[in-house]
Amino acid sequence: MQARKVGLLVVHGQGEQDRYQTLDEFTRSLVRALYNQTGEKVDLMHMRSRVDGDVDDSIRLRYSLGSVPIELDLHEYYWASDMSRHISFGETIEWLIETANGAEKFYDENETLAHRYEGYQKGRRWYLKHLGNALQIVYSLRNVTRFLPGSFDPLLRKMMGKYTQVCADYFGDSAIYTTSDSKSKFYEIRQTVLDGMTRKLIGLINADYDKIIIAAHSLGSVIAYDALNQVNLEMNVNPSFAAKADKQFELITFGSPLDKVAFFLREHLRQTDYIKQLVIKHVNGYRKKFLEMPSGNEYTVSSSVQDYLPHLRWINYWHPDDPISGHLDYYDCVDNIRLANELPVSKQPRNPLGRLFWQFKLYGVAHTHYWSNEQIFREAINRAAANDIRKPIPADKLDQVSGLLCQNQILNRQAPAGQPRPH
């Protein structure tokens, strides 16, 4: 039997990753899950090829599930070097506080929408504001060093330097990538990252694969979504590329902040600017639910942009203790999977200060534990082997098939009984 060829592109989140680090972590977890499932050694081979003109290093896994032989090529999109050291700690703090204030304003002005799509409740939005203020205090502490004895100065400077650099590296990536102002000095960096991801994805689509899977963590899921949006736009204007839309496509997101980005990190348009709304909402609207346009006595509105990837299966993993991710409600046809709480709640300190530091540590652990969660990788293995038959959709029927995926998915897997779904 001919091997089923699958290309999997893994995309890292924010932080100071090294090249091949993400490929290494994802592949090792996949191999471990595969070995636990089959009990057989996995055949791995390093592959060097060209993807859209660029030299690409990938890892090929050969294995069989039942009678189905699989060739799974794992590729990495590495973007950390494009954003590294482009934003200062002070600029990051300003962005964070501005974001917190924007979130407050957005929720105040759009409580109905927030209730509908994010399960928003008053009192659940405090952490953005307080986190921004706390980091501003840390930033101000750097000036305290000049009033301290010389023996304290080197130690405090070292401590402040470590935490301010971590903040700039972590939140700075988000500040740069979520820039929507084309006049900003960071906008060109954002476009470089997005263009690179789009080229990589188009190269894999043009390659000889039966199925394309994208697996993206944290901010990487925002980049992956934007690239898929660009791919869909290209299919709208390029008939030869649109012919590749009958391939099988899957998107796996974990630790994703896509809902939060859509709500208060993107440009929000005035209702009166209906021409601008018409263009931007459809140019950036892949799989978004909230595409309603204002109507008027003088006009009607529509767009020629269609969904050429209506059968793309989207699986989103989230954890209740992860403050970055959440249940994605703003997008159509997402299979939201709430992961079980495997974190050491029983080891929580008894004193209030200890509990506070423990909680922040828990947040960090929850946001990174996806890389070692075997459920994610076990299900990815099974999805790579699944042969979802896709029939090409005639161009004149594309506007009728949006949401077809929802009819055949088990959507929104809930928490066990008695455990509410947090956001």
Mean pLDDT over each residue of the chain, to the nearest integer: 76
DSSP result, 15-44 = S-PPTTHHHHHHHHHHHHHHHHHH-SPPEE
Helix (H) or strand (E) segment spanning residue 148: none
pLDDT of residue 111: 64
Residue 145 — pLDDT band, cuts 50, 70, 90?
low
φ, ψ of residue 301 to 5 degrees: the values are: -130, 150
| DSSP SS3 for 273 | coil
φ, ψ of residue 415 to 5 degrees: the values are: -65, 160
Burial of 346 (0-12, 13-18, 19+ CB in 10 A): exposed
Q: What percent of the chain has pLDDT over 70?
A: 65
pLDDT of residue 284: 86
Helix/strand/coil percentages in the chain, nearest 5: 50, 15, 35
At 351-399, the pLDDT tens digits run: 555 554 445 556 567 788 899 899 999 999 988 888 765 554 555 555 5
Look up the pTM and report it: 0.81
Q: Return the bridge partners of 10, or none.
A: 76, 215
pLDDT of residue 278: 83
Whether 404 shows a pLDDT value over 50: the answer reads no
Helix (H) or strand (E) segment spanning residue 177: helix 153-177
Q: Are 316 and 253 in contact (CB under 8 A)?
A: yes
pLDDT of residue 34: 92
At 15-35, the pLDDT tens digits run: 778 999 999 999 999 999 999
CA-to-CA distance for 312 and 274, rounded, in angstroms? 30
At 251-282, the pLDDT tens digits run: 999 999 998 787 766 566 666 778 888 888 88
> For 203-247, where are the E strands, in sequence order?
211-217
Mean pLDDT of 105-133: 55
Looking at residue 263, its amino acid is F
Say which residues have a Cβ less than 8 Å from residue 69's Cβ, sequence separation at least 6: 1, 2, 3, 4, 62, 63
Mean pLDDT of 101-116: 62
